[in-house]
């Protein structure tokens, strides 16, 4: 729940900054409001993508949602879940794949609260408690689509086109 609150707080902060930029620079003025908006909206996109990283424990698999890709590993294919020497949570599979879990990426705060270690223990408990019929070692990877994140990318691209049109017309 804390990630969601932080995600929306940062998004609202940057959108308020965008509104102030448009107000101060003017929409058609020479001060670069379209360029500033492009940068702000692109930043919101990146922040949304990063803060949407998470681990989902499902009945027969573990889903790791990182900023760009989502990985699906069947519980029977998990070989090891560990925290490396930098504090990053990783999952090794029986097929030889190593999956980096961005949601637990060894932050300074994590070094004090130990959330990566607790997450690793929870994933191990989940995997151990599941009697799986599948020993499929293959990791399924796909692009993560998130309309709440990707809408900001579309808005940033639209602003960059607007900036390009403004600079060529002026």
Query: How confident is the model over 91-125, as pLDDT tens digits?
Result: 999 888 999 998 888 777 777 778 888 999 999 99
Phi-psi region of 87 (alpha: psi -120 to 50; beta: other; left: phi over 0): left
- Name beta bridge partners: 61: 74
The pLDDT tens digits of the residues spanning 47-92 come to 888 888 899 999 889 999 999 999 999 998 999 999 998 889 999 9
Nearest to 82 by CA among 91, 73, 71, 74: 91
Instruction: Please tell me the pTM assigned to this model.
Output: 0.78
């Amino acid at each position: 729940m804390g990630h969601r609150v932080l995600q929306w707080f940062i998004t609202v902060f940057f959108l308020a900054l965008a509104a102030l930029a448009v107000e101060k620079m003017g929409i058609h003025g020479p001060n670069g409001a379209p360029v500033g908006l492009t940068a702000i909206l692109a930043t919101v996109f990146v922040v949304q993508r990063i803060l949407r990283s998470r681990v989902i424990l499902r009945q027969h698999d573990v889903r790791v949602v990182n900023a760009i890709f989502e990985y699906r590993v069947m519980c029977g294919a998990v070989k090891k879940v560990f925290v490396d020497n930098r504090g990053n949570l990783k999952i090794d599979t029986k097929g030889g794949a190593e999956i980096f879990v961005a949601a637990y990426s060894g932050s300074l705060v994590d070094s004090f609260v130990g959330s990566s270690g607790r997450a690793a223990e929870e994933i191990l408990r989940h995997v151990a408690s599941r009697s799986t019929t599948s020993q499929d070692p293959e990791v399924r990877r796909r692009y993560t689509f998130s309309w709440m994140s990707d809408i900001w990318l579309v808005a940033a691209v639209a602003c960059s086109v607007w900036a390009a049109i403004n600079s060529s017309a002026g």
